[in-house]
Structure 1
Amino acid sequence: MQRSASIVAATAAVVLLATGCSAGGSGEDADTTLSIYGWSGEVPDGVIAAFEEETGIEVTFDSFDSNETMIAQLDSGQSGYDVVQPSQYAVQLLVQRGLVAELDHDRIEGLDNLADTFVDPSFDPGNQYSVPFAWGTTGILYNEACTGREITSWADLWDPEFAGKVYMLDNMLSAYIAGMQVSGLSILSTDEAEIEEGTQALLDQKPLLAGYNSTNAADLVGAGDACIAQAYSGSSAAQATAANPDVHFVQPEEGGTLWTDSFSIVEGTQNEDAAYQWLSFTLRPEIAAMLTDEANLATTNEAALAEVQDQSLVTNPAIFVPQEDLTNAEFLVDPGSALAYFQDGWTRVRAS
């Protein structure tokens, strides 16, 4: 699964898809349709089909490739979407722009099914604007037949022994997760001098890299063409570990980060009742379990774990990173004005 953790403002014009723009619902169509804009592969077809069958509401689902694309679509004021699926920092940006509605918890059933980690999260205190659905981490995927040893730290991605066999995610803040934490710093830092330390770490690493790759690094590690790669937990990492017993996904001892993708209701939606029905439906344990069974992604729904049909997925550390390994993991949030420091550093890293 590809993810976007950079917060570089989208500059390209977003083409409005006809299938997405016509589904906002108004007049006689209100509450008979629901238009969702979410991550590709994160909302199982089975969930949508079950919702349509039970409610009679016709769902249109369009996918985006980055939070920035989604935000630009809503910023246009003509998206026609009722529900969106932002990552944690994107929730903050959408709230700042007034693009998502404050949630009425009295209209949502099942919030008490969420795991404690996703209740009252730092990026959305009190879950005022978002209901977490999927989660994962940023960590390390490695092939032990290639590395010859266990990998435990971001520092292993700086080891000259693996020169030319290391990949980093092709994403600004994802790369900085490693660059900051390997320097003993928090990715949440907004201090210019500390961010410069993270930049220098990435500059020092650059000669060792085979490249920046958010597309098929897991396949390269699985095949032994790469020894080690920064990676997101989830379906791609799970597939790589399942296909090759020498391949492992680990959370670095420095912490890495947590990410979560949530559902939020678009401000001004004409299909508010249908949107609330969707939130409650996806909070049902048996429905949330379908995310794991069908998409090989970790559900935020604690009550859903017992409902997962393939329990081997629940114990797979490439999907559900063990709780004891998350002690130092941080939610990646909007750095505000400090974004400029990351952008400047990233420009220098990529140009080096």
Structure 2
Amino acid sequence: MKKLMSTVAMLLAGTTLAHAEGTLQLFNWGDYTSPELIEKFEAETGIDVTITDYDSNDTALAKIEAGGHGFDLVVPSANYVQIYVEKGLVQELDLSKLPNHGNIAPEWMNVDYDPGRKYSIPWQWGSTGVAVNKTAYSGDINTSAIFLDPPPELEGKVNVTPEMNDVISLALWYVGGEPCTEDTEVLKKARDALVAAKPMWLSMDYGMTEKMAANDVMASVYWNGAIFRARLQNPDVVYGYPKEGFPLWMDQVMLLSDAQNVEEAYKFLDFIMVPENAAMISAFARYANGIAGSDPFMPEDMKSAPEILVPEEFAAAGHFLPTCSPKAQEYYTAIWTELQK
């Protein structure tokens, strides 16, 4: 799902992107946008798309809040949608400009964070779990112990993706708590577990599709689609669903309040709700999408992939993360700051 900011993003940091007719500025997670999709959209509409990458929800939110960014569309995760809405950073969609809005699958239409999809259009959804190279470890992989209490075979070989909400939520479930809790005793247990485990990690980094495929990392907290892509290159890579609890997520596209290329943005939003186009998004990044009718266009290997189909025995352990209260977010930030030391 996600990767370090691209060179393009860094070059654009702190600058304002100029408005031009027939252009669109998309601010999205790195390694997450199908080049074929963009080529098709540009060919059909004549609109030139510029993609700027970010590495985390917090990075994106901070950039948008700072203003002067020049972006038209952003792709936050579900638990950030209401933050964008409450801060006035996004605008309500004019559904009359989105004839394909009815293609959103019923189960993804009236979501808690955006009932009726008035502010957001589905992009992709998946899970955050643990990936392991089975040549290094043959034990139980369906547990957050892989990174919070690493087996001897994996000590010094584990990566943890630097995505605060996912990592702290996994730790909270592992110690018997729940995400976004304000219970300081439970939060302390999660913090202690993370701090104690960190010396046994190799890194806190992105880019695990390439690194796990190349055997540079033997285990990682990461996103299912990216690990699916690693497994296609290296069949020794397997994906586990922590039985203590693991995050489910959906990323969606939202129209920024200060978007300069609004009509172009609407054309893109409507375009990605065409089933065949939604399947192109999924075929590239290897995550499921929220558009009805896209299945016939999906790659065959996605229809039975263990990274896509959550085993029934672990299905109940997957949860969408809530939007944390300001107090809970303050606790999270304190834990994360300590973990970075």
| TM-score interval for Structure 1 and Structure 2 normalised by the shorter chain | 0.7 to 0.9
Please say if residues 286 and 304 of structure 1, whose CA atoms lie closer than 8 Å, have aligned partners that are also in contact. yes
**Residue from 45, 50, 55 that aligns with 2:40:** 50
> For residue 322 of structure 1, what is the aligned residue in structure 2?
310
Q: How does 1:97-116 map to 2 (within 5 A)?
A: 97-116=87-106
Deviation, structure 1 residue 220: 5.2
Give the 3 Å change call, closer, same or farther, for CA 268–323 of structure 1 in structure 2.
farther
Q: CA deviation at 1:204?
A: 3.4
SS across alignment from 1:145: coil
CA distances 1:185-233 after superposition (whole Å, capped 9, x unpaired): 22232333322221122133234x2333223555555555654321111
Runs of 4+ in 1 over 6 A off after TM superposition: none
Matched residue, 2:219: 228
Does residue 199 (structure 1) correspond to residue 191 (structure 2)? The answer is yes
Corresponding position: 1:210 with 2:201: yes
User: Given the two structures, how large is their TM-score scaled by the length of structure 2?
Assistant: 0.85
CA contact (8 A) 2:130 2:239 kept: yes
Q: Of 268, 272, 279, which residue of structure 2 is paired with 1:278?
A: 268
Matched, 1:2 2:2: yes
**1:173 correspondence with 2:165:** yes
| One-letter amino acid of the structure 2 residue matched with residue 57 of structure 1 | I
Distance 1:104 1:227 in 2: 47
Aligned counterpart for 2:323 among listed residues 331, 334, 339: 334
1:22 is aligned to 18
Cα distance in 2 between the residues matched to 1:349 and 1:77: 29
Q: Distance in 2 between matches of 1:61 and 1:245?
A: 31
Alpha-carbon distance in 1 for matches of 2:54, 2:150: 35
What CA deviation, in whole Å up to 9, does each residue of 1:134-179 have, x standing for no partner?
Answer: 1221101012222123422113431443433333223332321221
1:94-144 CA-partner distances (Å, limit 9, x unpaired): 212101001233332333433455332233233221111112211010122
Q: How does 1:241-320 map to 2 (within 5 A)?
A: 241-308=231-298, 310-318=299-307, 320=308
Q: Which residue in the other structure is 1:89 paired with?
A: 79
Structure 1 residue 344: Cα displacement? 1.9
Shift of 1:288: 0.6
| C-alpha distance 33-140 of structure 1, shift in aligned 2 (>3 A) | same
Q: CA RMSD in A?
A: 2.7
Structure 1 residues 274 and 323, CA gap change in structure 2 (3 angstroms):
farther
Assess, with a 3 A threshold, how the Cα gap between structure 1 residues 228 and 55 changes in structure 2: closer, same or farther.
closer
- Determine the C-alpha separation between the residues in 1 that align with 2:164 and 2:66: 25
Indicate if the aligned counterparts of 1:109 and 1:283 stay in contact, CA closer than 8 A.
no
CA contact (8 A) 1:146 1:224 kept: no
Unmatched 5+ stretches in structure 2: 5-9
Q: Return the alpha-carbon distance in structure 1 between the equivalents of residues 115 and 180 of structure 2.
A: 17
Q: Is the 1:44–1:294 contact (alpha carbons within 8 Å) kept by the matching residues of 2?
A: yes
Q: Please, what TM-score do these two structures have when normalized by structure 1?
A: 0.83
Instruction: Tell me: CA distance 1:116–1:156, structure 2 relative to 1, closer, same or farther (3 Å).
Output: farther
SS at match of 1:187: coil
CA distance in 2, matches of 1:69, 1:154: 25
* 1:231-263 Cα distance to aligned partner (Å, 9 max, x none): 11113x123212333321122222310122211
Any gaps of 5 or more consecutive residues in structure 1? 5-11
Distance 1:119 1:220 in 2: 36
Q: Do the aligned partners of 1:190 and 1:335 also contact (CA within 8 Å) in 2? A: no
Structure 1 stretch displaced more, 111-120 or 262-271? 111-120
Q: For the residues of structure 1 that align with 2:224 and 2:180, how far apart are their CA atoms?
A: 20
Q: Which runs of structure 2 are paired with 1:21-170 in the superposition (5 Å)?
A: 21-23=17-19, 25=20, 29=21, 32-157=22-147, 158-161=149-152, 162-170=154-162
Cα separation, 1, equivalents of 2:93 and 2:15? 27
State the distance in 2 between where 1:76 and 1:167 align.
31
Counterparts of 2:208 and 2:89 in 1: how far apart (Å)? 35
Could you tell me the percent identity over the aligned residues? 28
CA distance in 1, matches of 2:284, 2:84: 29
Q: Which amino acid aligns with 1:60?
A: T
Distance 1:210 1:155, change over 3 A: closer
| Cα-to-partner distance string for 1:67-120 (whole Å, 9 max, x where unaligned) | 334333333432332222222233222212101001233332333433455332
Q: Structure 2 vs 1, CA of residues 119 and 214 (structure 1 numbering), >3 Å: closer, same or farther?
A: farther
- Report the equivalent of 1:8: none
Distance 1:62 1:202, change over 3 A: closer
